[in-house]
Chain A
Amino acid sequence: MAEPLGWVAMVLHAHLPFVRHPEHPDALEEAWLYEAMAECYIPLLDRLERLAEEGVPYHLSFTLTPTLAAMLRDPLLQERFRRHVALMQDLGRRELHRTRHHPELHRLARFHADHWDRVALLYHDRYRGDLITPLARLQEAGRVEILASAATHGYLPLMDVVPQAVEAQIAVGVHAYRELFGRQPRGFWLPECGFHPGHDQILRRHGVEYTIVDAHGLLFGQPRPPHAVYQPVVTGAGLAVFGRDWESSKQVWSATEGYPGDPAYRDFYRDIGWDLDWEYIKPYLRAGIRGNTGFKYHRITGPTPHKELYDPDAARERARVHAGNFVFNRAKQVEYLAGGMDDPPVVLAPYDAELFGHWWFEGPDFLEDVLRFMAANPSVRTTTPGRHLDRLTQLALVEPTLSSWGYKGYNEVWLEGSNDWIYRHLHKAAERMVELARRFPEAQGLQRRALNQAARELLLAQASDWAFIMKTGTMVEYARRRTVEHLERFHTLYHDLLRGTIDGYRLGLLEERDNLFPFLDYRVYAPQPAPAPQAAGG
Chain B
Amino acid sequence: MRQPQPPTPPLPARYGEDRVTLLVRDPETLFAYWELTPQAMERACRDQGCPPEALTPLLRLHDLSQTGPPEEVAVGHAESWYLHVGRPGHRFQAELGFRGPGGRFTPISRSNLVATPPREPAHLTAPPVSRAEEVVLRQFRGVDEHGSPQYVESRAWKISLPLAEGSPLAWVTSPGASPAQAWAQPQEDLFLEVTAELILRGRTRPEATLWLNRERVPLAPDGTFTLRLALPDGSFPFGLEAVSPDGRLTRSFATLVTRASFPGPGTGAGTKEATTGG
Q: Could you tell me which A residues sit within 8 Å of B by CB distance?
A: 24, 28, 157-158, 161, 183-184, 197, 201, 204-210, 219-226, 233-234, 236-238, 240, 287-289, 389, 392-399, 401-403, 408-412, 415-416, 420-421, 423-425, 427-428, 480-481, 484-485, 487-488, 491, 531-532, 534, 538
Contact = CB atoms under 8 A, between A and B. Distances in A.
Nearest to B140: A209
Interface stretch (B126-134, B226-234, B259-267): B126-134
Interface stretch (B98-106, B114-122, B215-223): B114-122
B23 A415 contact: yes
A158 B120 CA distance: 22
Given A209-B140, A226-B126, 18 more contacts: A184-B145, A205-B149, A207-B143, A207-B149, A208-B142, A210-B140, A219-B121, A224-B126, A236-B175, A287-B2, A394-B128, A395-B129, A402-B117, A411-B23, A415-B31, A424-B21, A488-B11, A538-B158
Contact of A220 (B122, B130, B145): B122
B208 to A, nearest CB: 31
Contacts of B120: 220
A421 B21 CA distance: 12
A236 B126 CA distance: 12
B122 A158 contact: no
Given A204-B142, A410-B117, A538 B15 contact: no
Given A207-B143, A534-B154, A395 B128 contact: yes
A397 B129 contact: yes
Nearest to B139: A238
Contact of B126 (A225, A401, A415, A487): A225
A161 B180 contact: no
A204 B184 CA distance: 24
B33 A423 contact: yes
B86 to A, nearest CB: 14
B139 to A, nearest CB: 4
Contacts, number: 172
B12 to A, nearest CB: 7
Contacts of B236: none
B26 A409 contact: yes
A94 B156 CA distance: 65
Contacts of B142: 184, 204, 207-209, 238
B131 A223 contact: no
Given A409-B26, A538-B161, A224 B121 contact: yes
Contacts of A236: 171, 175, 178-180
Contacts of A222: 118, 122, 124, 180
Interface residues of B, number: 65
B112 interface: yes
Contacts of A425: 11
Given A238-B139, A481-B8, A226 B128 contact: yes
15 contacts: A24-B3, A28-B2, A205-B149, A207-B143, A209-B142, A220-B121, A222-B124, A222-B180, A226-B125, A236-B179, A238-B142, A402-B24, A420-B33, A484-B8, A531-B153
A411 B26 contact: yes
Contact of B26 (A161, A220, A412, A484): A412
Contacts of B26: 408-412
A219 B125 CA distance: 10
Contact of A233 (B11, B126, B133): B126
A373 to B, nearest CB: 31
A26 to B, nearest CB: 8
Contacts of A480: 8
Contacts of B211: none
B127 A396 contact: yes
A416 B117 CA distance: 18
Contacts of B158: 538
Contact of B180 (A184, A392, A398): A398
A397 B140 contact: no
B145 A183 contact: yes
B150 interface: yes
A204 B10 CA distance: 39
Contact of A288 (B1, B35, B80, B122): B1
Given A394-B129, A409-B26, A197 B115 contact: yes
Nearest to A196: B24
Nearest to B3: A24
A161 B22 CA distance: 8
